[in-house]
């Protein structure tokens, strides 16, 4: 395990480029940690709901009050550092931005965006982060130490995350189901030519992943290659109805309705029908390999791997309906060939 963590730390030494950060941080003397806490306290008094209500999560509010009462400046710094780590990485999925959110939920009960940006910038500055790459230098090494106990981030995900810094594409790591090496292997596969025949495109695309499909057959996850083909057909019908120009209100695109971040993580062009299908096939394959069964793999494709790992997907009407519809369509196709 130690060697794995050392590998992660070594990965951090790669050249890092632009990373999304809050408002521009001035090259002046960093604020003291006490000054930052003073700013948070002032902001706390100015917001609705009364004092001691600045943090949305109860655990953050408690940790903040404990750090505020401590005489040790290091405890205050640790609070700031841990909060920024949660912001940067997220709790259940990797975020990749210092934006005042954890898993899409606000950290602060602050509506004034400028005030929020100022607080985040001051927090970063207090830890000596004046340049974007300082986020990686200051926070990610700490994550490598936490990797064994941090449930939301496995060591392979850490490697994928640090690899994204090197490629100036942090958001690739938003999807823990896609490791850096897997994303690269997908991008390197020659995308089949699309003549307008989606049935043929599915066959040609599935052929790219013959070995991985064979492994799933051996493990009993699927019966044979044709069952996987039928699953993809059913998914495409559910996702886009076979419309290569389909765009959802959430921004999902194309035949397999890939979100932009998922497409980037896979290294495919979501606006190209053949590349879109290749990405969708690769992503559902990854979920089948991860969860070992079709229903949970479909749920992960729709709601994200994290919501399958924690079981929350079963409470999502959209996702349960998605799984039910695709399973029914795929079963019908399978019965037709029996």
Cα separations in angstroms, 48 against 36, 109, 254: 20, 9, 43
For residues 287-304, give the mean pLDDT: 93
Domain-located, residue 172: no
pLDDT at 173: 32
pLDDT tens digits for range 113-156: 778 878 888 887 787 765 544 555 555 555 555 444 444 444 44
Percent of the chain with pLDDT over 70: 69
Structural domain ending residue among the three candidates 154, 171, 192:
154
In a domain, 43, yes or no: yes
CB 101 within 8 A of CB 107: yes
195 in the same domain as 145: no
Higher pLDDT, 277 or 188: 277
In a domain, 171, yes or no: no
In a domain, 119, yes or no: yes
Quote helix, strand, coil % in the chain, to nearest 5. 60, 5, 35
Q: Give the Cα separation of 157 and 94 in Å (integer).
A: 9
Least confident piece of the model among 79-83, 142-146, 241-245:
142-146
Q: Does residue 317 lie in a domain region?
A: yes
What's the pLDDT at 48?
65
4 pLDDT more than 60: no
Range of the structural domain that residue 204 is part of: 182-336
Same domain for 253 and 142: no
Q: What is the mean pLDDT of residues 87-93?
A: 61
Looking at 137, 154, 171, which one is the last position of a domain? 154
Same domain, 87 and 132: yes
Q: Where among 154, 169, 196 does a domain terminate?
A: 154
331 and 198 together in one domain: yes
Q: Is the pLDDT of residue 96 over 80?
A: no
Question: pLDDT, tens digit, for every residue of 5-44?
Answer: 455 444 444 333 334 444 433 444 556 888 889 888 888 8
- The span from the CA of 227 to the CA of 123, in Å, is 53
**CB 238, CB 311: distance < 8 Å:** no
| Structural domain includes residue 163 | no
Do 51 and 141 fall into the same domain?
Answer: yes
39 and 133 both lie in a single domain: yes
Please list the active-site residues. 239
Query: Sign of the CA dihedral 171, 253, 282, 290?
Result: positive
Residue 166 lies in a domain: no
Let me know whether 195 and 131 are in one domain: no
**Residue 171, pLDDT score:** 34
What CATH number has the domain bearing residue 300? 1.10.530.10
Mean of the per-residue pLDDT values for the chain?
76
Same domain, 218 and 106: no
How confident is the model at residue 88, as a pLDDT? 67
Whether 86 and 196 map to the same domain: the answer is no
Statement to judge: residues 144 and 190 lie in one domain: no
Examine the domain organization and report whether 22 and 94 are in the same domain.
Answer: yes
The reply to whether 176 falls in a domain is no
- What lies within 8 Å, CB to CB, of 6 at 6+ separation is none
Question: Total structural domains in the chain?
Answer: 2
Same domain, 57 and 149: yes
Element (H, E) at 36: helix 33-46
Distance CA 299, CA 85 (A): 28
């Amino acid at each position: 395990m130690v060697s794995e963590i050392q590998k992660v730390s070594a990965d951090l030494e790669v050249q890092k480029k632009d990373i999304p950060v809050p408002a521009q941080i001035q090259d002046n003397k960093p604020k003291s940690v006490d000054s930052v806490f003073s700013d948070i306290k002032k902001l706390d008094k100015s917001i609705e709901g009364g004092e001691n209500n600045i943090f949305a999560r109860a655990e953050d509010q408690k940790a903040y009050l404990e750090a505020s009462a401590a005489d040790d400046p290091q405890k205050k710094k640790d609070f700031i550092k841990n909060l920024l780590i949660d912001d940067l990485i997220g709790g259940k999925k990797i975020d990749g931005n210092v934006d005042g959110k954890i898993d899409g939920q606000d950290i602060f009960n602050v509506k004034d965006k400028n005030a929020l940006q100022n607080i985040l910038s001051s927090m970063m500055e207090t830890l000596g982060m004046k340049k974007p790459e300082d986020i990686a230098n200051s926070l990610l090494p700490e994550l490598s130490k936490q990797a064994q106990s941090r449930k939301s981030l496995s060591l392979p995900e850490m490697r994928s995350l640090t690899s994204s810094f090197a490629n100036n594409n942090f958001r690739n790591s938003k999807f823990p189901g896609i490791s850096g090496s897997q994303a690269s292997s997908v991008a390197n596969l020659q995308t089949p030519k699309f003549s307008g025949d989606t049935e043929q495109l599915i066959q040609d695309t599935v052929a790219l992943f013959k070995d991985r499909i064979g492994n799933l057959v051996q493990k009993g996850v699927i019966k044979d290659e044709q069952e996987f083909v039928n699953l993809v057909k059913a998914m495409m019908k559910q996702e886009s109805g076979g419309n290569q120009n389909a765009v959802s209100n959430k921004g999902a695109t194309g035949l397999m309705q890939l979100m932009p971040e998922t497409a980037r993580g896979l290294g495919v062009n979501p606006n190209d029908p053949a590349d879109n299908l290749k990405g969708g096939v690769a992503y559902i394959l990854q979920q089948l390999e991860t969860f070992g069964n079709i229903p949970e793999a479909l749920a992960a494709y729709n709601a994200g791997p994290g919501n399958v790992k924690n079981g929350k997907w079963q409470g999502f009407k959209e996702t349960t309906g998605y799984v039910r519809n695709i399973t029914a369509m795929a079963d019908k196709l399978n019965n037709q060939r029996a």
